[in-house]
Amino acid sequence: MATFLFVAGLTGSLLAFNWELERVFAPRLFATGKPGVPKLDLATLADRAEALVPQGRVEIITFTQPDQVMVYFVPRTDQKTNRPYGLGFTEFFLDPWTGKELGRRNRADLSQGLINLMPFIYEVHWMLMAGNIGQWTMGIVALIWSLDCFVGVYLTLPRGRGSFGQRWKYAWWVKWRASAFRINFDLHRASGLWVWPVLFIFAWSSVMMNIRPVYERVMHVLFDYQSPMDEFLANARPNESPKLNWHQALATGQRLMAEQSAQHSFTAGEPLSLMYFPDIGEYGYDVRGSRDVFERAPKGGSTSVMFNGDTGELQSLSQPTGEHAGNTVESWLYALHMARVFGRPYQIFVAVLGLMVSTLSYTGIYIWWRKRRVRKLSLQPRPC
């Protein structure tokens, strides 16, 4: 477990500045700003994308950054072979002002060069670049880590009689003039105590991202929680060819969002995403709302409406906070884990925390190894 957390800590330190580092290693995927020029709307950008890639159908189009639009395609069927076209990429990028292509890439494929460095680090952090097996492995490690957070605190509690507070306070400090082993032990114990709440947040949010069934079962027990997947599939009617086109869908989404904001007393701000899900036959429209948690980027923190792809009938409204306590907690878990709140100071804190997780993993292994070595020596027969 410590080995996996060591890797997760190092990669997480870099991912705290994911978008900033993306601009360094993949600058061509970001457009040059055009002050005073309005951005194209999501429907027009979807049309431009499909014109550039006729073998694909746009599934999701998102303003990932102020100067970047990301498009996800699903391949159309080749009528000659009756098989899906090979698109040759997984991510497609547009200039939000002109609709021109900025670039395309196979996410996390390092053979394409530095353009995929940060996605590669992200995939290592999330699933060890090992697909579902890696995702479940990291999820199980995160679950053990969540439980271990409580075990770790228990092991710092003092034994015996006397003032609990007076004896426990020594667990919070490092004796810098002691032996190397004692300094290592104190660093492991004290640093874990000082940042314990945040460590638990990162451990449990990792469970949330990797093994949803376990996470959702616990959240249902502890909170008023509505599973996004249950809501997503509630009115599923598969439909490959909706009657509403992108422009009609955008207009419908804007109308429904305005109605819902008036009805539920929230403010609907700038548009973020427009998507169509043929498996359930519904469009989704996301905006930045007044109850959102995320300060940067839409992923995981937007206000959205889902509506029928043929009739435009509203199916659901989703708000990051203010509806269900468990879903509010989930929004904060996403935001805190991905360093999307509290500005630059929190980004720096998360980067340092990642290094601390790696340090705690190393010091924990070292303490275990030393104690194991001592136990083995104590069991050896002594010479007469």
Domain housing 133 = 120-225+326-379
Helix (H) or strand (E) holding 307: strand 303-308
Do the domain assignments include residue 266? yes
With 0-12 / 13-18 / 19 or more C-beta atoms within 10 angstroms meaning exposed / middle / buried, residue 58 is buried
For the chain, the domain total comes to: 3
Residues 212 and 346 in one domain: yes
Residues 335 and 297 in one domain: no
Do the domain assignments include residue 335? yes
CATH number at residue 308: 3.10.450
Of 325, 350, 369, which closes a domain?
A: 325
Residues 44 and 179 in one domain: no
Residues 213 and 349 in one domain: yes
**CA atoms of 20 and 11, how far apart (whole Å):** 15
Q: Which residues contact 65 (CB under 8 A, 6 or more apart)?
A: 19, 30, 297
b/e string for 250-269 if b means 16 or more Cβ within 10 A? bebbbebbeebbeeeebebe
- ∠ CA(157), CA(162), CA(167), 5° rounding? 40
Q: Residue 283: what residue type?
A: Y
Q: Give pLDDT tens digits for 32-89.
A: 988 899 999 999 999 999 999 999 999 999 999 999 999 999 999 988 898 999 999 9
**Mean pLDDT split into 10-residue runs, the chain, 384 residues:** 90 95 96 92 97 96 94 93 92 97 96 96 94 94 93 85 82 86 83 89 95 95 89 81 96 97 93 94 94 69 90 93 91 92 93 90 83 77 63
Do the domain assignments include residue 384? no
Asked whether the beta carbons of 340 and 296 are under 8 A apart, the reply is yes
Q: Name residue 303's beta-bridge partners.
A: 287
Residues 25 and 111 in one domain: yes
Residues 343 and 218 in one domain: yes
Residues 102 and 64 in one domain: yes
Q: Give pLDDT tens digits for 295-334.
A: 755 555 689 999 999 999 999 999 999 889 999 999 999 9
Q: Name residue 85's beta-bridge partners.
A: none
Residues 173 and 269 in one domain: no
Please state the pTM of the whole predicted model. 0.87
